[in-house]
Structure 1
Amino acid sequence: MSSSTSRRQRVRDATLRELMSVSREILTSQGVEALTIRAVAREMGMTPPGIYRYFDSHRKLMDAVIVDILDELTEYIASATDEQDKSDAARRLIAASRALRRWAVEHVPEFQLALVVATPEDDDAVVRQARAQVGAFFGDIFLHVWHEYGASATVPGIHPAASEALADRLLERLQIPLPSSEAAVAFTRCWLRLFGMVCVESLGLTRVIGDHSGALFEAELSDLARMLGLPESALEAGR
């Protein structure tokens, strides 16, 4: 690569980073409806055709913002998890869970755009992969928990065959290899309860009833830890 080509690439990369920063500032300060090509161009001091040199449609811009958000979220969870002993799967799972909740309530517009109001059937492959990586991160930790504690769980009120079919679909979407249908159902139950609780809190529904500190999330997390047979000490992780 020539020096001029390298320089052009550095300029392009710097502009892309600024485009993401400006787009997310518009998202967080004005809402998703305000995040348009024209608005980004105005904040960047560019013309709309100049933005189209980087993103050929509004959808492509939104997809890039979603991927940027999910990469940041995954990195945040991974960083919090790495503060725990790598051999202690239970504490790593609890720390990752608390990190997911903490990031979501501190970045509500981003979390809702990327994971709450998602339309997976319309996503391109890169966006689907970015969304799947969050669940897959938890799936990898769960695999170690399953092997270490021999956890077992079922989905109450659902026939086991139906539970397995639903679990298989989730694992296929998240690209998570688990050793048995029992493990798949247990992970599905845990993931949907955990992720669902975070979504509910990010929407502000728990604050309506006076929960401003995540007490309901903590109760759910404690219940899931007991279901998986985790030691009580694991619940101290990531506080």
Structure 2
Amino acid sequence: MVKTPDGEGPRRERLRARTLEEIKECGFALVDDGGVSAVTIAALGKAMGMTPPSLYRYHASRDAVVDALVAAAYTDLGLVVEKAAVGGSPEKRLDRLVREYRRWALEHPRRYAMLFGDRAPGTPDPADGVVAFNRGMQALLAVLSEMTDSVGGNDPLDSELQRWSEAIDVPAGVTPRALRLGVQLWYRMHGLVSLEIAGAFANMGLDAEHLLTSEIRETVAAADAD
């Protein structure tokens, strides 16, 4: 039996980790330049000076590469939102959280499109990416819960929101109103930044930041309403 020299295993793991990080960086460069469709094994190999068979030692397929990029982008966005939700009054944290979400999307428009539109319809998100993004959603819901009472309606949406919150491990105590406001705010934020990236508001002569400020104010007012 051939023994692995002491330290050889950890060294291999470090080299593998560095190569995976380089693949991620090159993959994001391809996304940023040409969208997710630009990510191919051939393009990655050319960027890294590696042959396709060598790349397949790290990712089994092109889809596996994209999954890794999606998971990393979700993680990055989720962390940005989590960090923004720390410190200050709930209203200040909500304002900061929403603006940081928009900033990330505008700084990485093609990564944002990769997450929410550019992949084939029905393509499942990688589980670790979903978990990372949900941490950001949990932070949003926790802030809104501090701003709302526990009143909930009997409408079918409330039951659906409750089931969804349990599925993503939202902490107990988040109010029904916070769940509703959180989802409403998220789809409005998503719609706003998607239209802003597409240039729709510029064509209309509207400042997207003013629109975002209006959405934040309306959410705060709704949270304060009896």
Bin for the TM-score computed over the shorter chain: 0.7 to 0.9
Instruction: Extract unaligned runs of 5+ from structure 2.
Output: none
Tell me which residue corresponds to 1:58: 62
Tell me which residue corresponds to 1:97: 98
Give the direction of change, closer, same or farther, for the CA distance of 1:117–1:153 in structure 2 (3 Å limit).
farther
For the pair 1:111 / 2:112, whether they are aligned, the reply is yes
For the pair 1:202 / 2:197, whether they are aligned, the reply is yes
Instruction: Extract unaligned runs of 5+ from structure 1.
Output: 155-159, 231-239
Give the direction of change, closer, same or farther, for the CA distance of 1:201–1:136 in structure 2 (3 Å limit).
farther
Per-residue deviation, 1:55? 0.6
CA offsets 1:50-105 (integer angstroms, 9 cap, x no match): 111111011110010011112222222334444x33xx222112111110011111
Tell me if structure 2 keeps the 8 A contact 1:151–1:229: no
1:43-82 equivalences under 5 Å are: 43-82=47-86
Q: 2:41, 2:187 → 1: CA distance? A: 35
Q: 2:205, 2:165 → 1: CA distance? A: 35
1:144-155 equivalences under 5 Å are: 144-146=146-148, 150=149
Tell me if structure 2 keeps the 8 A contact 1:153–1:186: no
Tell me if structure 2 keeps the 8 A contact 1:22–1:44: yes
CA offsets 1:19-48 (integer angstroms, 9 cap, x no match): 111100111112221111110011000001
Per-residue deviation, 1:152? 6.2
Match of 1:161 among 152, 155, 163: 155
Q: 1:73, 1:9 → 2: CA distance? A: 27
Q: 1:172, 1:34 → 2: CA distance? A: 37
Tell me which residue corresponds to 2:46: 42
Match of 1:4 among 5, 8, 15: 8
Give the direction of change, closer, same or farther, for the CA distance of 1:187–1:80 in structure 2 (3 Å limit).
closer
Letter in 1 for 2:22: E
Q: 2:133, 2:36 → 1: CA distance? A: 18
Letter in 1 for 2:110: P
Per-residue deviation, 1:109? 0.2
Give the direction of change, closer, same or farther, for the CA distance of 1:121–1:30 in structure 2 (3 Å limit).
closer
Identity %: 24
For the pair 1:16 / 2:28, whether they are aligned, the reply is no
User: What CA RMSD, in Å, does the superposition of the two structures yield over aligned residues?
Assistant: 2.7
Tell me if structure 1 keeps the 8 A contact 2:70–2:126: no
For the pair 1:216 / 2:211, whether they are aligned, the reply is yes
Tell me which residue corresponds to 1:123: 125
Tell me which residue corresponds to 1:237: none
Q: 2:75, 2:129 → 1: CA distance? A: 11
Per-residue deviation, 1:8? 1.0
Letter in 2 for 1:145: M
Q: 1:212, 1:185 → 2: CA distance? A: 27
Q: 1:205, 1:9 → 2: CA distance? A: 47
Q: 2:210, 2:105 → 1: CA distance? A: 15
Q: 1:170, 1:136 → 2: CA distance? A: 12
For the pair 1:190 / 2:190, whether they are aligned, the reply is no
Where relative contact order (Cα < 8 A, 6+ residues apart) is larger, the structure is 1
Alignment TM-score, normalising by the size of structure 2:
0.83
Figure out how many residues of one structure are paired with residues of the other and give that number.
219
Tell me if structure 2 keeps the 8 A contact 1:178–1:184: no
Letter in 2 for 1:101: R
